[in-house]
Structure 1
Amino acid sequence: MHLAVPGPTSKGPTEKFTGDVYLNALHPGESPSRLVAAMIRFAPAARTHWHSHPLGQTLHCTDGKGLVATRDGKVIIMRAGDTVHTPPGEDHWHGATQNTLMCHLALVEHDDGHTATWFEPVSDHDYQVAHASTIPTNEQR
């Protein structure tokens, strides 16, 4: 057993994120484990680009409020304590709502070192459509 000290905070690269995003590595997936874990903080309206994971992804929101959306238009609002799983190969994005920061733990298993396939940025229009679709849900919870 050992204390796993988080890696230093780094700014999310612009080829994978829109807006201000900060990452801390938590677990690197050292053999025999395939688990890769990171803590990711999103400023309001910041988000990932479209991407998928060969073995799926689990997101656990620790603070704030965020969105997870798929190409087919499904949107889940995520609040502190919520966990969302995306299955292998599903194109999706996630990030903070317009007015609230969000922090989540991102958990993936690597497939021979490969954890994600990255695609294009989420357009402002697509972000607004996803955000607007959660307004009734926000009022219910």
Structure 2
Amino acid sequence: MDVTNSAEKHEWDHQVQVTAALLSESVESEFDGNTVQSAEVTFRPGERTKFHTHAGVQVLYVTEGEGIVATRDKEREVSQGDLIVFPSGEEHWHGNTEDATSSFSHVYFLAESGDGELTVLESP
């Protein structure tokens, strides 16, 4: 068993972010050659990611507010309690709307073999 706690949020620049730095709390663990990462990410109004893919499965659980998740083929509004699963290699983005009046937060879980690979594409 591996238990990790992240008690404080911090801002950090990430290559997948379109606008300002991410507000995030994160943990990471490794077992049997697989890496599992988790973080709570907060998008302020108008903030979102670029299109990107992961080498593994990414699961999002919406914890606060309303936001957007999208693939090349469809875009969905999501809200607190929604669970979103992006299969390995699926091009997607997620974030807040331009006209939002509050933040949008989700916890992500990313399970990948080895070091994993994030591929950052263009902005939506």
Cα displacement string for residues 98-126 of structure 1 (whole angstroms, at most 9, x for unaligned residues): 3131000011112211142212233xxxx
Structure 2 stretches of 5 or more lacking a match?
A: none
C-alpha separation between the residues in 2 aligned to 1:115 and 1:7?
Answer: 27
CA deviation string 1:46-103 (max 9, x = no partner): 001110111221100000011011112x011110000111111110000012313100
- Taking a change above 3 Å as real, the CA distance of residues 7 and 109 of structure 1, as seen in their structure-2 partners, is farther
Q: Which has the higher helix share?
A: 1
Instruction: Give the aligned partner of residue 133 of structure 1.
Output: none
Q: Is the 8 A contact 2:57 2:112 kept in 1?
A: no
Equivalent position SS for 1:113: coil
Higher RCO structure, 1 or 2 (CA under 8 Å, sep 6+): 2
> With structure 1 as the length reference, what TM-score do the two structures score?
0.75
Instruction: Let me know the Cα RMSD of the aligned residues.
Output: 2.0
Aligned residue for 1:57? 58
Shift of 1:10: 3.2
In 2 relative to 1, CA 66–12 (structure 1 residues): closer, same or farther, beyond 3 Å? farther
Show the counterpart of 1:71. Answer: 72
Query: How many pairs align?
Result: 120
In structure 1, stretches of 5+ residues that fail to align are 123-141
Q: Which letter does structure 2 place at the counterpart of 1:82? A: D
The aligned counterpart of 1:114 is 116
Amino acid at match of 1:84: I
Quick one: percent identity of the two aligned structures? 28
Higher fraction of strand: 2
The 5 A counterparts of 1:1-141 are 4-6=4-6, 8-13=8-13, 15-20=15-20, 21-25=22-26, 27-32=27-32, 34-72=35-73, 74-98=74-98, 99=100, 100-122=102-124
Moved more, 112-121 or 45-54: 112-121
Letter in 2 for 1:24: E
Runs of at least 4 residues of structure 1 off by over 4 A? none
